[in-house]
Amino acid sequence: MLIERNIGLQQRQSQQISAQAIQSLSILQYSHSELASYLEDQADRNPLIEVTLPSLPTDTPNAPGNNPCEMHHSNEKIAPTAPQPPIQRQGRQHSPRRTEDWVDLAEATCSASVTLREHLLQQVALSFRDPAERAIAADVVEHIDEDGYLRMNLAVLSDIIGADESQVENVLRIVQGFDPAGVGARDLAECLRLQLDERGMMTWAMDKLLDNLDMLARFEITKLSRTIGTSPEDVVGMAKDIRSLDPKPGRQFDTEPTLPALPDVVVDRDTDGSIHVELNTDLLPRVLVDRQYYAEISGKARNAEDKRFVVDCMSNANWLVRNLDQRAQTVLKVATEIAKRQEQFLRHGPEHLRPLGLKDVAEAVGVHQSTVCRAIAHRHMLTSHGMFELKYFFSNSINATAGSEEQSAETVRQKIRQLIETETPKTVMSDDTIVSALRDEGIEIARRTVAKYRDMLRIPSSAQRRREMRAGLKLC
């Protein structure tokens, strides 16, 4: 085999993504806080960039599994944010409130408060005279979680503290008498017992009922009455007493308020009924390029390296401004297409949400599906029916019977909820009955899908609903 070297030309095609394109894609999917951090970093690196950021509360990170990029691979639907009260407008609806108004409202309604830990330590200082017991009580308080529970085993806690287990248990009993009632409990039953003791409602029958909370959760009233040795009416009465208790007493001192989400897009309706979509400009950062300073330093550059630095700074600043503008335009185009396709929802409410996929919007706007995915991430739309995440408007379709129109998964869930809300003790609907009722409305759906949607709505089975209605009580 002859091995030799040859020199020749070879033509080859390849695709490379530029730094500007990477920046554009990254900026598009940034949340408000992420974009603010990125722009501040760019301003620190580039002397030609001047950034003015809106005053915003801290963004809440997405919950696990809520990545909108996974939506076209999953049949799950993400619930909207808590709807805001309908906004009554005449003619063209007014522009959204200034961002400062929303922030001032959040600050006014979220006043500083004492934490659970501080509240308990104040009681420790008043309840224990012995320094050793006071130190043990302080350690016990440090291990109580935000729900008010001590979930650590006493033997392990005693080893950590370096005290005798019986001494720690004695201190814990005193701590369990602190306010709020139920604090320091090691499980739900003990938490309820502490509250019932504080109210003087703890009886032998109630103690037996607390030992069988799993049966109460399944509303097995007749079985419970035989176990406890009381009548079903007495069991229902005790269940109502338990319902009045707080299963998480520590949450009364929750110092992390949920700040209101701010709308990125506002949908208005004109006097002629047409829909108008606009961006909430109060949320958009403003980036300016200082061209006067560029003219000053470019004339004072002494060598090629300095000149190259100044030119790169100007080029990067211009690209940043261009990408921010493209970000705003892309979000507006996507939101406008969503509003156009969900016009019936905007007019009549969530029961009229239509099936919609990322591909449908991407083809209409003329972008890739991944671009739509990034454009709807972390963004909300304010409508007359409340404020919703943009990804809420994307829903898979449910097959329809012959001659019927396809329905979105969210619409079907709403129909299932409405059917169950009309039930009486004598007309509780099984999943098979719900399937038949939906088929009468032209919706072809399997029983297992009805069961899945019912679980997503946190609606118990028909057997448990029947027991609840017969008892005249709902605990869930």
> What is the per-residue DSSP string for 2-36?
-----------------HHHHHHHHHHH--HHHHH
Please check whether residue 390 is in contact with residue 381, taking contact to mean a CB–CB distance below 8 angstroms: yes
49-52 and 407-408 as β-strands: parallel, antiparallel, unpaired?
unpaired
pTM of the full structure: 0.62
DSSP 342: T
Is 213 within the bounds of a domain? yes
Using the 3D structure, point to which of 207, 238, 253 is the last residue of a domain.
Answer: 253
* End-to-end Cα distance, the chain: 81
Where is the domain boundary, 253, 282, 316? 253
Give the span between the Cα atoms of 204 and 281, in whole angstroms.
63
Contact 56, 31 (CB under 8 A): no
- How far apart are alpha carbons 165 and 170 in whole angstroms? 9
CB of 166 closer than 8 Å to CB of 133:
no
Residue whose token pair is 């998480």: 248
Tell me if 77 is assigned to some domain.
no
Residue 265 inside a domain? The answer is: no
pLDDT in tens, the chain (476 residues): 567 777 877 777 766 677 777 888 888 888 888 898 999 999 999 999 999 888 765 544 443 334 444 443 333 333 344 344 433 333 334 444 444 554 554 455 455 578 899 999 999 999 999 999 999 999 999 999 999 999 999 999 999 988 899 999 999 999 999 999 999 999 999 999 999 999 999 999 999 999 998 888 888 888 888 998 888 888 888 988 998 999 999 988 865 655 567 899 999 887 777 888 999 988 889 999 999 988 888 888 788 888 899 899 999 999 999 999 999 999 999 999 999 999 888 888 888 888 888 999 999 999 999 999 999 988 999 998 889 999 989 888 777 765 566 778 888 888 898 899 888 888 889 999 998 888 888 888 888 988 998 998 888 888 888 877 776 655 44
Q: Do the domain assignments include residue 429? A: yes
Q: Go through 254-288 and write b for each residue having 16 or more CB atoms within 10 A of its CB, e for each that does not.
A: eeeeebbbbbbbbbbbeeeeebebebbebbbbebe
Radius of gyration of the chain (CA): 31
Residue with tokens 């029983």, as numbered in its chain: 447
What DSSP line would sit under 371-439, residue for residue? HHHHHHTT-EEEETTEEEEGGGG-B-EE-B-TT---EEHHHHHHHHHHHHHT--TT-PPPHHHHHHHHH
- Strands (DSSP E) contained in 259-412 are 265-269, 275-279, 286-289, 380-383, 386-389, 397-398, 407-408
What's the pLDDT score for residue 16? Answer: 67
User: In the chain, how many domains are there?
Assistant: 2
Give the E-state strand segments of 283-366 in sequence order: 286-289
Rounded (10°) CA dihedral 318, 319, 323, 326: 70
Three-state secondary structure call for residue 302: coil
Q: Residue 440 maps to which CATH number?
A: 1.10.10.60
In three-state secondary structure terms, 458 is coil
Residue 405 inside a domain? The answer is yes
Compute the residue count for the chain.
Answer: 476
User: 196 near 188, Cβ under 8 Å?
Assistant: no
201 within a domain of the structure (yes/no): yes
By the 8 A CB rule, do 384 and 426 touch? no
The tokens for 416 are: 């299932």
Bond into 180 cis (ω within 30): yes
Asked if residue 347 is part of any domain, the answer here is: no
Query: What range defines the domain where residue 121 resides?
Result: 116-253
pLDDT of 94: 41
* 130 vs 208: CA distance, rounded Å: 37
DSSP category for residue 359: H
pLDDT value of residue 445: 87
* β-pair partners for 397: 408
105 contacts 259 by C-beta, under 8 angstroms: no
- The residue from 253, 272, 307 where one domain ends is 253
The answer to the question of residue 433 being in a domain is: yes
